[in-house]
Chains A and B, each alone.
Chain A
């Protein structure tokens, strides 16, 4: 594996320009002061209740995500390139979804194989021919970005279903501003606080035609036991909309209403943080208690907008991912600005053979997996794990893709033995409304706190950092 790209230090001893002021400040600041503020940050997180649940962990159902107080900094120039790339990517994702559920030009052009769509469990036949307002399917996208050098941004994963983490982007900033006002005074950091406003106007802009002039938006959560519940309540609060559960909603005459103390009230747009499968027990899983019976028929009647739309999973599938560069070219006629990681599709015999021969060097992921569950990181795995994975792979090759183990870039991070480089990724949040696509400058930086570790997922012991885009 190559030496990781260090976002702060240039080999030879110089600093990258964006980090110069931070480096000066770090020199002036005694380590105890950092440690003290780290503890203070943790206390704040716990008191505000910014916790998440780890599934299958009965010991403590609520945990904190470790927060690292050293910000991750990017120059304005780097950001504007990334921003352009993200907008391009999300535009292509939306056009791809529109095409898949309507004309299917891309299948006829044989850019993407048919069976990858039609045999895919996240493909929703219910969406065939269904109109969605302004052809927006992915209103909120979280695109996972990694860097391996100073030039390129590489997309690791597209999250087009119900991406989470934006509350950390906002709360991390809030806490940093509280703890390090002096450090902010020495930088010009682009603000992130208008995210909730942008989100609300994006959601309102896609209200169905039958909505009143002031469309009613609600956030649908699976409930307090969901791992991202804090984020749901946080966002509902910031947006000033109701946080509803399935049982708060009813469908009458193909319209959706919420039960209030003054009787029922019509809802026009649902920012749903419930997966497709659980949305409507009449259409999808009949055992779901989280959903709303009849919601899909109201959706088909065009009386409710769901954000994101149903069936977007087909665009962030890891097998589809490998076609993204072609998808961008096909719809936009442009070269993709963001790169893809080289990907071997285990469904193709030639690729599978290569993957099986090189398991100890590759990262193998489940096509439908997320959250870092069920993946193999070859270089870090034991022989036994690799062999067990090999069997799984042979049994069901179409369920997996493989990628080279990337040397993710590193940022200085507080560790038990002082500041040290740790691997990071970045999830910016891309909002698409009826008229425009916007991205708040920043995102969620996740950091693998264990030395050498490349897994940044919070469910696997990763932490977060505040992400600064310098306004130059």
Chain B
């Protein structure tokens, strides 16, 4: 398969995943900011949204204040923000066009129809909360449809594996970023300074990775911050956990290794990260420092992206 094709497939999946994650983040932030101030304390949730999206610095070059209007606009519709939902969808469509031959017609149709549909939204934005909610839902549904059509219609060959790798790498990055911004509300009770107010922060985190219901199924418990951390970092059964993403990344890389008859640095690096996650428990992680652990993970994960690029995509 052409390296350029593999690269396009990989990024296509990343863009779609990122668009969905941004939509979820905005959604969760809207919910928590709708609560009376007494429930959420003094933190600026819109600031957190910018931080988890990794675009705070560029945002403040354009805007004075991180309020709902500005942040929603910047994360969703801005043409200047390279990772706005808009630019993710535009890039996904452009990538799809350049690798049409490697996509199934269902995948192409999903991206192309969404792109057509959204042209109107870009030109007039969303005027009401209802409009905005509809838009955010549409973006999430597009990602689900894309993912589902890839899963159901693609041949199981390198094209599929490269696309899945993009998805899991992006997903791991997103989950890690939200942990990075919110880790302070996830510390064990004795260590952290918040109070019961944090309950709404916790649900907000779970919602942004679509794990609120999952939490209750897994732990059969009221919300406990260290269990939330456990779910998002180590629980292999949650599709957006770091452990699950790495289980998948290792599998996809192995499949490529077998198909091509050789392994390389990408396989070794991914296995290293997976092993570390497998052999960790939350106690150790808290001892070692959650924040340090997450930051190390984020840099390891982006290093894997670089290694994959070097090994296969250029």
Q: How far is the CA of A342 from the CA of B302 in the complex (A)?
A: 67
Residues of B within 8 A of A236 (CB): 101
Q: Which chain A residues border B312 with CB–CB below 8 Å?
A: 261
In whole angstroms, how far apart are the Cα atoms of A47 and B109 in the complex?
6
CB distance from B150 to the nearest CB of A (A): 17
- Chain B 105-137, CB within 8 Å of chain A: the 1/0 string? 100110011001000000000000000000000
Q: Which residues of A contact B4 (CB under 8 A)?
A: 245, 247-248, 259
Contact B97 A242 (CB under 8 A): no
Instruction: Tell which of A229, A234, A258, A261 touches B6, judged by Cβ atoms closer than 8 Å.
Output: A261
A245, A259, A262, most chain B CB atoms within 10 A:
A262
Q: Which residues of B contact A46 (CB under 8 A)?
A: 116
A47 neighbours in B (Cβ, 8 Å): 109, 112-113, 116
The main secondary structure of chain A at its interface with chain B is mixed
A259 lies within 8 A of B101 (CB): no
Q: Is the CB of B116 within 8 A of A242?
A: no
Secondary structure dominating the interface of B: helix
Q: A245-B4, A248-B2, A248-B3 are in contact. Are A261 and B109 (CB under 8 A)?
A: no
Interface check A243, CB cutoff 8 A: yes
In the assembled complex, how far is the CB of residue A72 from the closest CB belonging to chain B, in whole angstroms?
Answer: 28
Flag whether A149 is at the interface (Cβ < 8 A): no
Partner of B3, one of A229, A233, A259: A259
Binary flags per residue of A253-297, CB closer than 8 Å to B gives 1, else 0:
000001111100000000000000000000000000000000000
Q: Report how many residues on chain B are interfacial, defined by Cβ distance under 8 Å.
A: 24
Complex: A313 Cα to B12 Cα, angstroms? 39
Q: Does B98 contact A (CB under 8 A)?
A: yes
Contact B108 A243 (CB under 8 A): no
| Bound CA–CA A222/B200 (angstroms) | 53
Shortest distance from the beta carbon of A37 to any chain B beta carbon, whole Å = 20
A244 at the interface (CB under 8 A from B): yes
* Nearest neighbor of B108 in chain A, beta-carbon distance: A49
On chain A, which size bracket covers the interface?
20 to 34
* Interchain CB contact (< 8 A) of B158 among A223, A242, A261: A261
The residue from B2, B100, B105 contacting A260, defined by CB atoms under 8 A apart: B2
CB-contact partner of A261 in B1, B105, B113, under 8 A: B1
Chain B positions near chain A (C-beta within 8 angstroms): 1-6, 94, 97-98, 100-101, 105, 108-109, 112-113, 116, 158, 162, 256, 260, 312-314
User: Which 9 residue pairs across A and B have the least CB separation, nearest first?
Assistant: A233-B100, A237-B101, A261-B312, A259-B3, A261-B6, A236-B101, A224-B98, A224-B97, A262-B260
Cross-chain pairs A/B with CB under 8 angstroms, 13 sampled = A49-B97, A49-B108, A233-B97, A233-B100, A242-B2, A242-B5, A247-B4, A248-B2, A258-B2, A259-B4, A259-B314, A260-B3, A261-B312
Given contacts A242-B101, A244-B2, 10 further A-B contacts (CB under 8 A): A47-B112, A47-B116, A49-B100, A224-B94, A233-B100, A242-B5, A248-B4, A259-B2, A261-B1, A261-B260
Interface residues of A (CB under 8 A from B): 46-49, 223-224, 229, 233-234, 236-237, 242-245, 247-248, 258-262
